Amino acid sequence: MVVALVVLVLGGFVTDRITRRVRLRRAVTSGRGPVCMLKWPERDGRWRPGRLSKGADGQLTWTPAPRGAEVALPAELRRTGSRKPSWWREAMAVNPSSRILEYEAAGEPLLIAVFVDDFEAMAEILGEV
């Protein structure tokens, strides 16, 4: 009985991993990009869910979820670091297992929170920005 339960749990875990990778690959190849959260502390100051994608011309755009108009990100993005979410600042808004990528554009900070599983896909989209 215990062996059957362990096999079922492992089977579910493997199935989840495989389907998640397939969905992520489809999202990236279709140009939609992985799900992330974006925060401009100088502008709005709130974490907004959405998808980050790169257009044919190389312009980064962010589409808010569940609906909204695409927002073109500044072309002069410069990566300043990455970190885990802090418990005193992002505890309620961002998943604790995600990573926060810190960027700077025209002197103002831009934060992008990405799940660990989506980190590689996001690195493909952002490149060496």
pLDDT over 70 at 32, yes or no:
no
User: What are phi and psi for residue 53, nearest 5 degrees?
Assistant: -140, 165
What is the overall mean pLDDT for the chain? Answer: 81
CA 4 to chain CA centroid, Å, is 36
Q: Which amino acid is at 98?
A: S
- Class in CATH terms, 2-126: mainly beta
pLDDT over 60 at 123, yes or no:
yes
Q: How much is the pTM?
A: 0.72
Percent of the residues in the chain that have a pLDDT greater than 90, as a whole number: 1
**Each residue of 67-108: pLDDT tens digit?**
788 888 887 888 888 888 888 877 788 888 888 888 888 888
Per-residue CA distances from 101 to 11, 41, 107, 109, 119 (Å): 33, 14, 16, 10, 10
* Residues 14, 20: Cα–Cα separation, whole Å: 10
The predicted pLDDT at position 124 comes to 74
The predicted pLDDT at position 119 comes to 79
CA 31 to chain CA centroid, Å, is 14
* Residues 27, 29: Cα–Cα separation, whole Å: 6
